[in-house]
Chains A and B, each alone.
Chain A
């Protein structure tokens, strides 16, 4: 169909164009831009297989990447689950990942402060690690009143969303359980 590769169409001299389309309603009216239109799905550097991040139907997505940016996300027609279709949220996935509301910097709010301040990621990670270790030590429960072993902390808790990957959940459960934290929960209960 058409010049499938999005290459510019053959352009006739104006007089010939008018002869073919004397009313100027079609061929003769087609602009240079229109003749060279190429969908960005065609010009993408890469098409990456993905899965929709919203509900749990698990619709297949194809993520089109150009110059290191996501430029389009569409349904994956190969998926036996979704057959290439998407709902409004799935169809808006590109707007979601490129939302102007995305945050890309760490923010820190000190006790009693009325505003955020900047903090490096590395420093934030060190501070968080320090707080986990300190809180755990302060709230460690080795045994209950009857002397039964508990080996745990209830000094800190975790509530995860359900858009985290399986592998992420696995490492979270593994790390925090090994640390003795038991209040590890996620959206599934909410």
Chain B
């Protein structure tokens, strides 16, 4: 899948090199959804800290989720997935509609068949966030320099620079980047850049009651995640998987990655995200002196125009 040499994929471009002595270890989130209780403290703590706009909408009908997706006004978003996995009535498919199931259960009822109700339902909860990709297409396509890679290796939109051009919006394979209605600028998780600069952990991770959201240095988080995955597998939860922990994936690995209890699609996440910049002509796929020079030229052209 990946055409990028491993060495290039493991580290974001321009980091840590650009920062020299100022560079800090790369940090991120490990969101362990196996202990998420769906309380949404992360959504609120994020909004409180970053003074994100509220947007009261109606009842969505989507389980307990009424904010529905990441966006300009929701930088942490908790997804709720109700799953029925019938244990009884052998031989039936697992993913029937509710109505079919109801009908079948009634049938069983009439026939006097005992159905064991004790098993067969899961309620998955997962707090989603900007992935702070190693290969961040949003950053690569930003013409104004509003998006930048911080000294912590995270990806931040600068509100004082963003002019609302929206180039970054389609570039994101996760649909994270979003323009705010009214103001037109793009807003997303900054991984609490201001707090990081003061040795404080991001607001969501600090609030999280069960430590489902863990903040730390990425290398250490990946080790922690591997151990947790092994633990769950040993405990018989073979379906558990890591999402975005692999530097060899289409975005070079996430700065904010996840332990999921089902396939990413189930949570509304792309199974195989690829940085949009890889698709458009492979500009970044061949790393060499010439390409670097070309890139520098392009960047310089943008820089010239932005300040």
Contact = CB atoms under 8 A, between A and B. Distances in A.
Interface string B143-175: 001111111000010111100000000000000
Interface residues of B, number: 54
A24 B300 contact: yes
A38 B192 CA distance: 11
Given A2-B151, A6-B198, A92-B44, A23 B193 contact: no
Interface in A145-171: none
B206 A85 contact: yes
B107 interface: no
Contacts of B196: 1-2
Q: On chain A, which size bracket covers the interface?
A: 35 or more
A91 B48 contact: yes
Given A23-B296, A25-B18, A29-B145, A86 B41 contact: yes
A26 B150 contact: yes
B161 A22 contact: no
B22 interface: yes
Given A14-B307, A24-B300, A26-B150, A85 B208 contact: yes
Interface string A3-37: 11110010000100010111111111111111001
A22 B158 contact: no
A29 to B, nearest CB: 4
B139 A91 contact: no
Contacts of A18: 300, 303
B194 A24 contact: no
A60 interface: no
Contacts of B18: 20-21, 25-28
Given A4-B198, A20-B18, A30-B148, A25 B140 contact: yes
A95 B206 CA distance: 18
B44 A31 contact: no
B164 to A, nearest CB: 16
Nearest to A14: B307
B197 A23 contact: no
A2 B198 CA distance: 7
Q: Of residues B49, B209, B302, which shows the largest number of chain A Cβ atoms within 10 Å of its Cβ? A: B209
Contacts of B145: 24, 28-29, 31
14 contacts: A1-B197, A1-B198, A2-B151, A20-B18, A21-B18, A26-B151, A34-B156, A37-B193, A37-B197, A74-B45, A74-B203, A88-B41, A91-B45, A91-B48
Interface of A: 1-6, 9, 14, 18, 20-34, 37-39, 41-42, 72-75, 84-92, 94-95
